[in-house]
Amino acid sequence: MFLVFPLINKKYIPYGDLLLPFAGYDFGRVKLPKSIVNICRVIKNSYRNRMSTALITGASGGIGKAFAEELAARNINLVLVSRSEEKLNQLAEKLQEQYKIKVDVLVEDLTKPAATQAVYDTIKAKKLTIDFLINNAGFGDYGDFAERDGERQIKIVQLNILALVDLTHKFLPEMKQRGSGSIINVSSLTAFQPMPYLSVYAASKAFIVSFSQALWAENRKSGVRVLVVCPGPVETNFFRAANFPPSLAGRINTTSNQVVSQSLQALERGDSMAVIGGMSTHFVSNLSRFIPRKTMLYFLEKQFKA
């Protein structure tokens, strides 16, 4: 502590800046204690005296909108992305009015390959620093893969995987350089096993889990947090957008607000993954450990056939 107190003084804050790049690294026999580096980081951020900004994809409804509302209530500026201009503008107006924060709206179809670059360019042009990246936009498509529209399957991959990877790759390096930042990638309970009749969607969500947990490990000591969120069924427009038969959806008793609050708690703890939902969600997320894959696929195919 004696080493730290002299740093809590504006005059010495540049020293905090100098220490940050060395967080957790070994330099021969000298290793800065993590606690000192973390305190320097806190000092540096308060010295910057700027509000944090969150970039949220798929913020026009459901889980993304709930993230926007919760982060706004925590006094965080927002950049909201989706295709629905009117919904985003209404939400932006409400949150700006209610919380006196700054909200930017970017209307983009993230299935288009150029969209992520457009998001990045606009953020740079506005000189915004992204502290929270919430890759939430996603959709599924229920049905027999061979009979479904092929272009729609490609769009699932483009949105759920490619846009998420690209935005992460655009914003992670600068977070690492600052030694702070958080990335939340929204996956799903469907990530834990192949899902007949939601094949591309479930595979895309499995990708997100694998990718995000690898990034969590790579960035563990960098000050950047990476969390993958795997909710069970949540009350949103998701099932309608996926043409999912309501009779197969079962009882849905998790809300978007619960997903958001449990995700933020998990992020705070430094977890790599949050499985969100009731007992059955946690049970299903572990099933593939105990039941042979072939047996499970047999039952899932029967259960999810319309």
Instruction: Please tell me whether residue 234 binds ligand NAP under the rule CB under 6 A.
Output: yes
Q: φ and ψ at 255, to 5 degrees?
A: -105, 160
Residue 296, exposed/middle/buried by CB under 10 A (0-12, 13-18, 19+)? middle
Work out which of 52, 116, 168, 236 binds ligand NAP, going by CB under 6 A: 236
Distance CA 199, CA 290 (A): 21
Interface map 10-49 toward ligand NAP (x if CB under 6 A): ----------------------------------------
Interface map 65-94 toward ligand NAP (x if CB under 6 A): -----------------xxx--x-------
Helix axes 62-73, 256-269, angle to 10 degrees: 60
Could you confirm whether 201 is annotated as catalytic?
Answer: yes
Strand segments (E) across the chain: 26-27, 30-31, 53-57, 77-82, 103-107, 132-135, 181-186, 224-231, 273-276
Instruction: Please tell me whether residue 231 binds ligand NAP under the rule CB under 6 A.
Output: yes
Tokens 């992460």 correspond to what residue?
Answer: 168
Instruction: Please tell me whether residue 196 binds ligand NAP under the rule CB under 6 A.
Output: no
Interface map 94-113 toward ligand NAP (x if CB under 6 A): ---------------xxx--
Torsion sign (Cα): 16, 22, 23, 24: negative
Kindly name the residue from 99, 142, 197, 201 that is annotated as catalytic.
201
Catalytic residues, which ones?
201
User: Where do contacts with ligand NAP occur on this chain (CB under 6 A)?
Assistant: 57-64, 82-84, 87, 109-111, 136-139, 159, 186, 188, 231, 233-234, 236-238, 241
